[in-house]
Amino acid sequence: MNGWIAVDLDGTLAEYHGWPADGSIGAPIPEMVEQVKQWLAEGKDVRIFTARVWPNGTAIQGAGFEREKQATEQAFRIQEWCRRHIGSPLPVTCVKDPFMVEQYDDRAFHVVPNTGRILRPE
């Protein structure tokens, strides 16, 4: 597979029970951590895909430069979390691009390409 795999952090790779005041990251979710390790062992490009690093978003409190600073701090925190639980830091982004080939997220629904039909779990 060419391209990269997007893995959401909160609620997918790490436990999430609401935004923590200190910006900390929850405990690892073992099944997804093992899946990421497997993809990496297969040579796949895996990236953390999270709003935590969006410098203009409401997920990160603050405004202007302070918000950008918080986004940067979150990126470093996420990379350290990955180093501790996955074994190496992973790229962190909040931007989809044409090279993203898969996305794993606790809030997403799959849409059948070119149909608009939403597949919902039963």
What does the pLDDT look like over 101-120, one tens digit per residue? 999 999 998 999 999 999 98
Residue 6's pLDDT is what? 97
pLDDT band for position 2 (cuts 50, 70, 90): confident
Residue 1 scores a pLDDT above 70 = no
pTM for the full predicted model: 0.86
Contact 109, 120 (CB under 8 A): yes
User: What are the structural domain ranges in the chain?
Assistant: 8-119
Q: Does domain 8-119 have CATH number 3.40.50?
A: yes
What does the pLDDT look like over 13-31, one tens digit per residue? 999 999 888 889 999 999 9
